Amino acid sequence: MSAWTVNGRPGTPRRSVLLGIAAGTGAVATDGFGLAARPAAAATPRHHFDFDKGNAALDVFGPVSGGPARAAVAPSDASLIIRFANLVAHAWFDAIAPYHPTAVGIHSDLGRRPASEAATNRNKNIALLYATYRMYNFLLPGYQQLWRDTMVSVGMDPDDAREDTGTPAGIGNLAARHVLESRLHDGMNQLGDHGGREYNRLAYADYTGYQPENTAYRLRNPSRWQPLVVTKGNGIFQVQQFVTPQLARVRPYSYSDPSEFRAPVPRASNHHNRAEYRRQVDDILAMSASLTDEQKMKCEMFDDKFLSLGAAVGSASDAARLDLDGWIHLHTVADTATFDASIFAWYNKVVYDTVRPHTAIRHVYGRKPVRAWGGPGKGTVSIPADQWRSYLGTPDHPEYPSGSTSLCSAEAQSVRRFLGTDAVDIRVSRAAHSSAVEPDVTPRQPLELHWTSWTDWTRDCGLSRFWGGVHFMPAIEASWSMGRKIGDRAYEFVRSHIEGEV
């Protein structure tokens, strides 16, 4: 482990915090960055938190943030989950940087506080509370009362809007403000104001002009992505839209241009290469016909980005017994890696715009019978090809490369570099019949999913997309390779800020 990863004091085991995004309105008047506009009396503590030894980001806000996050964004909606996790982690990093011997903030330089103020975690925790509160207020404004109550519960005044570098509250407020000022116009159109739009703004709306070559009802080019007609089973059917294609234009942290990570041309996805195209389809069908309970549960676990990415970093931080600084730095490394990997993946998705297995199977076999998984509880059957479905829901963006694999590979490499080991102990238990896809059927017996190395975890993350029927293998293989490179870049980027080499 590098000397800069911790400050010497072993910490208690920590789980990970990985969150999502919501939109809404709150009851508290705020300025544009979530700072309360009206005064309030000092809060009264309602439960004990150890400011000197604890971790406010995890121990105070961690228990109340999961529900709002999952209510706001689907667990498989990677582009928004990764963005929110990154913004919050960077606010944490900048909030404690002034109390570190060498660190300089990623979005701000708030100076250096005397070493005596960092003798315990107290000042860092206060800064973390205010930074987290401001970020959640802005990113999840529909839960402002919950965030206020959380601050009050540990004796903090949520209406303390000071912005000075002489107090931990002021440092936390400033850290959040600088993160938001840096990223709100970074290409993602988070505010929906791209192009100067003033009225009826649509957060995260596409402004690139992307249009699919195929429609949901007509396949013009079998090599290109086709949006599907999807439903939640409620009688309402909708046509998929490419989710946030503008992510390809978002400003990365650890490299300047995603074209540097141009993935190899996916030749087998070109329908004019008939033998290769059909071979990819047959590989997917063979996998669909042979799915095991363990593979199904790994598919579902890795599809849930809250659980999979969060469980991995949490397990690593538990084993390393990091102190507060180390815990924040580890999350910053991981969340920077996944953020930059998501840009790489979306850039290549826009460039290649390739077909998903769902469309390719129908193109090759039409209504001919194929042997495959027949749907929840049906097992392996002979099924008309036009009735085939992937075990996992087909995502609403082009196939190549694999976004999920890119995120896993980048996260694993960045954490591997940070902790100096490939070893990890990741365990996820699954009760019998707990499947979200096949409830009351799968798995037949309780399962424990277990990985002892980042290498194996990354491998299964990628393969789960093949097992689940949503990616061909070339998309996964390209993502393994490119993700590792981005993980290295992210590690070096954050390391330079920790060591003050910026």
| pLDDT tens-digit readout, 290-334 | 999 999 999 999 999 988 998 899 889 989 999 999 999 999 999
In a domain, residue 246? The reply is no
Collapsed DSSP state (helix, strand, coil) of residue 10: coil
Average pLDDT taken over every residue of the chain: 91
In a domain, residue 130? The reply is yes
User: What's the pLDDT score for residue 497?
Assistant: 98
pLDDT mean over 178-195: 96
Q: Are residues 278 and 164 in the same domain?
A: no
pLDDT mean over 95-105: 98
pLDDT tens-place string over residues 191-209? 999 999 999 999 999 999 9
The number of domains in the chain is: 2
Q: Are residues 163 and 303 in the same domain?
A: no
Last residue of a domain, one of 126, 154, 183: 183
In a domain, residue 222? The reply is no
In a domain, residue 61? The reply is yes
User: Which tokens belong to 122?
Assistant: 């107290």
Q: Are residues 434 and 285 in the same domain?
A: yes
User: What's the pLDDT score for residue 34?
Assistant: 38
Q: Please tell me the pTM assigned to this model.
A: 0.91
46 band by pLDDT with thresholds 50, 70 and 90:
low
Could you count the other beta carbons within 10 Å of the beta carbon of residue 498?
A: 25
In a domain, residue 106? The reply is yes
Last residue of a domain, one of 161, 183, 205: 183
pLDDT beyond 60 at 16: no
109 band by pLDDT with thresholds 50, 70 and 90:
very high
Q: Are residues 290 and 425 in the same domain?
A: yes
Q: Phi and psi dihedrals of 449, rounded to 5?
A: -85, 130
Beta strands in 357-446 (DSSP E): 369-373, 380-384, 423-430
Distance CA 360, CA 378 (A): 23
Q: What is the extent of the structural domain holding 338? A: 273-498
In eight-state DSSP terms, residue 260 is G
Q: Are residues 343 and 488 in the same domain?
A: yes
User: Which tokens belong to 305?
Assistant: 């980005």
Q: Are residues 9 and 113 in the same domain?
A: yes
Last residue of a domain, one of 183, 214, 230: 183
Distance CA 21, CA 491 (A): 25
For residue 400, what is the domain's CATH number? 1.10.606.20
Q: Are residues 179 and 278 in the same domain?
A: no
Distance CA 234, CA 237 (A): 8
The label of the residue with tokens 């389809």 reads: 281
Percent of the chain with pLDDT over 70: 90
User: What's the pLDDT score for residue 17?
Assistant: 53
In a domain, residue 248? The reply is no
pLDDT tens-place string over residues 243-278? 999 999 999 999 999 999 999 999 999 999 999 999
Q: Answer for the pair 145, 26: CB distance below 8 angstroms, yes or no.
A: yes
